[in-house]
Amino acid sequence: MTIAGWARSLAMVLAFACAGVAARAQDAKGVVTDPAILEKNRKENAECYGCHSEAGYKNPPRADMDMVKLRALLHDPAKFDGSNHVGMNCKICHGQPYETYPHPAGLKQNLSPCSECHATKSLRVEKQFEDSVHAKNLKDAFTCQTCHDPHVYKVAQKIGDPRVIVAQDNQMCIDCHNSDLRYSKFSAQLSTQKVRPDLDTLHKWLPNARLHWQAARCIDCHTPVSKVKSLQTSHEILAKDKAEKNCVACHSQQSQLAARLYRYAATNAAADLGFTNPSYLGSAYVIGATRNPWLDWGIIGAFAATILGLFVHGAIRVVAAGLRGRRAS
């Protein structure tokens, strides 16, 4: 290799190294541990809350504001303090100029996208997201923020309790899939606008669908298990014909939920109580995942009885309709 060649290689190695450091520095952008900075952020955020909170709205610091607009822009300090982004300064994402009121025009463009601080993770999430029905069919209107409210959202790992995780994650989907108004804003992107299909009707085949919404996540049926180990969830929401319909996928000892929804509960329990993953699953959560064969058979019996019940019910209705028909004629 020539000297120029060596120099070029060296420059490339250095460039990669610097890019790596830069990426890490960006991932760590704004991570706040210093108590002095935390206190400064708390004070500065309190100024924003002076208007952008329920308390601020009720007791506005000035009289010349558009109160109708402000009403739709209120935030809950307690929720923010329970989110991933607790301790951060509002202005890190929104930009310094929001300090002054009236806010200058055109500040929205300054808003930091998720990828600015979560470069590595975003790159991997984005690939899955781009393969999802939403990204493919609803185009640019659908972004990370459409599901993730950065002021409230908390990652499952830090929640642990499956019920709380389920409530948070399903709310993201239900907020839109149960709202004609919001759904139609997005389905307007389709070449022929679609009327919102009703969630209960769609999942009629699932016994106690409403109970399932409290115990299992939409994404547990609507995404494949993530192939990328470092990602906790798959973002690849598939078309409906690829959704999980198989009861045994969850209601069995090999429940896929062990690797998904319950992984944090299981690790937390293992750390706290010395439980192993399967015994935790068996002792507490999904029916069918127990280690007690009598219990499992009982449950399978109950399933069978439910299905038989539906069948008998249907048969009775058919017969009754027939009888009614004969009487009418």
Which 70-109 residues touch ligand HEC, going by CB under 6 A?
Answer: 70, 73, 75, 80, 84-85, 88, 90-94, 98-99, 101-103, 107-108
Position 156 contacts ligand HEC (CB under 6 A): yes
User: Cα 303–306–309 angle (5° rounding)?
Assistant: 150
Among 12, 19, 37, 111, binds ligand HEC (CB under 6 A): 111
Position 265 contacts ligand HEC (CB under 6 A): no
CA distance 179 to 146: 14
For ligand HEC, what does the binding mask look like between residues 230 and 249, x meaning CB under 6 A?
Answer: -xxx-x-x-xx--xxx-x-x
Among 38, 79, 119, 122, binds ligand HEC (CB under 6 A): 122
Position 173 contacts ligand HEC (CB under 6 A): yes
Strand, coil or helix: what is 117?
Answer: helix
Rule CB under 6 A: which of 191-210 touch ligand HEC?
A: 194, 197, 199, 202-203, 206-208
In the complex, least distance from residue 319 CB atom to ligand HEC, rounded to whole angstroms: 26
Q: Which of 58, 70, 145, 151 is nearest to 103 (CA)?
A: 70
Q: Which is nearer to ligand HEC, 245 or 324 (CB)?
A: 245
CA distance 13 to 57: 54
Position 264 contacts ligand HEC (CB under 6 A): no
For ligand HEC, what does the binding mask look like between residues 33 and 72, x meaning CB under 6 A?
Answer: ------------x-xx-xxx--------xx--xx--xx--
Q: Which is nearer to ligand HEC, 133 or 270 (CB)?
A: 133
Q: For residue 220, count CB atoms less than 10 angstroms from its CB and return exposed for 0-12, middle for 13-18, buried for 19 or more.
A: buried
Among 9, 110, 145, 292, binds ligand HEC (CB under 6 A): 145
Position 150 contacts ligand HEC (CB under 6 A): yes
Q: Which is nearer to ligand HEC, 224 or 303 (CB)?
A: 303
Amino acid at 129: F
| Count of residues that bind ligand HEC according to CB under 6 A | 109
Q: Which of 286, 308, 268, 234 is nearest to 277 (CA)?
A: 268
Q: What does the block give as tokens for 180?
A: 């004609």
In the complex, least distance from residue 317 CB atom to ligand HEC, rounded to whole angstroms: 21
Contacting residues for 20 by C-beta, under 8 A, at least 6 apart: none
In the complex, least distance from residue 278 CB atom to ligand HEC, rounded to whole angstroms: 15
Crossing angle of the two packed helices 180-187 and 162-177, in degrees rounded to 10: 70
CA distance 181 to 190: 15
Q: Which is nearer to ligand HEC, 247 or 318 (CB)?
A: 247
CA distance 88 to 44: 10
Q: Which is nearer to ligand HEC, 113 or 322 (CB)?
A: 113
Q: Which is nearer to ligand HEC, 43 or 324 (CB)?
A: 43
Strand, coil or helix: what is 1?
Answer: coil
DSSP-assigned letters across all residues of 56-74:
HHHS-S-SSS-HHHHHTT-
